[in-house]
Amino acid sequence: MMQTTLRESLRFEGVGLHTGAHCRVEVRPAPADAGLSFLLGSTRVPATAEYVVDTSRATVLGCDGVTVSTTEHLLSALFAMGVANADIVVDGPEIPVRDGSASEFASAIAQCGLREQSAERRILDLEESLIVRDGDKLVAAFPAPSLRVRFIADFAAPIGTQYYCGEIDSERYVDEIAGARTFGYLHEVQALLARGLARGGSLENALVFTADGPLQPLRWPNEAVRHKVLDLIGDLALLGAWPRCELIAIKSGHQLHSSLTSALRTRLRVPSA
């Protein structure tokens, strides 16, 4: 399998979920072995685990005092669709949230198509199992011939306990994962707004639950856990290689996913020159 980049540049713009600011992003093709990276003014921030600066509400990457927030949905789409190399030029404090899912990113990538490059795709073959945990949250990675995810999410009613299991490849990602939206409870959203957070949040870009159920029609009965898988894949993009392993995630979030990716990254063999 060879590395790939986009055939041409893609552009997205719109409101940022957390800041409410109007943000623009252009995703440009990049040379083989360049990896995914963000260009923030004159600063280049590689999309790898070492550059994570915050995971409390979204995955924030940065260096030298500049940061970009809400990177996980765009990275999820690029990574799952097999884009190994791209420069993500950002104008604004975060990546536009669009409809709260990765659907527009994934369909734009599929429509634009990929160009094969003259270097082999970087793969991580796990040799032994790896487990990261935090209280009752856990992610375990086991050696496997391809990337497979089993995710158990457990939220307060009415979301409840949800399960997703599937092999992750670009087709399955488009059909089953990319369209799952960011979600929250109405009382949480109200509390965030009162604290000046989630300023760009609306019913157009997040799935909102009340005690009686969702305020909008669900795209799948287990849309919430599918979004957790979308986020997990976005955090895995920071590995800088495609992992061949089976992942079992229980109630995990950005922080644990980021620890997993850092731990997996130490197992990446540096390619010999």
Its sign, for the CA torsion 92, 75, 257, 261, is: negative
Instruction: Considering only the stretches 1-9, 90-98, 133-141, 230-238, report the one whose residues sit in contact with Zn ion under the rule CB under 5 A.
Output: 230-238
Q: Is 254 a catalytic residue?
A: yes
Whichever of 29 and 253 has its CB closer to Zn ion, that residue is: 253
* Residue of 18, 73, 227, 254 with catalytic role: 254
Whichever of 182 and 252 has its CB closer to Zn ion, that residue is: 182
Tell which positions 175-204 bind Zn ion, by CB under 5 A.
182
Burial class (CB within 10 angstroms; exposed 0-12, middle 13-18, buried 19+) of 28: middle
246 counts as binding Zn ion under rule CB under 5 A = no
Beta carbon of residue 181, minimum distance to Zn ion (angstroms, whole number): 8
Among residues 94, 104, 223, 231, the one that binds Zn ion under rule CB under 5 A = 231
Q: What is the DSSP letter of 20?
A: -
Tell which positions 254-273 bind Zn ion, by CB under 5 A.
none
Beta carbon of residue 58, minimum distance to Zn ion (angstroms, whole number): 7
Whichever of 67 and 182 has its CB closer to Zn ion, that residue is: 182
CA separation for the pair 218, 207 (Å, rounded)? 8
Beta carbon of residue 183, minimum distance to Zn ion (angstroms, whole number): 9
Beta carbon of residue 94, minimum distance to Zn ion (angstroms, whole number): 12
Whichever of 182 and 261 has its CB closer to Zn ion, that residue is: 182
> Residue 49 is inside which H or E element, if any?
none
Phi, psi dihedral angles at 53 (to 5 degrees): -110, -15
**Strands, E assignment, 173-258:** 183-185, 207-210, 213-214, 242-250
Nearest residue (beta carbon) to Zn ion? 231
CA separation for the pair 71, 74 (Å, rounded)? 6
Task: Show the 3-state SS of 115-159.
Answer: EEEEEECCEEECCCCEEEEECCEEEEEEECCCCEEEEEEECCCCC
Site size toward Zn ion (CB under 5 A) is 2
Residues that bind Zn ion in the complex, under the rule CB under 5 A? 182, 231
Catalytic residue positions, numbered: 254
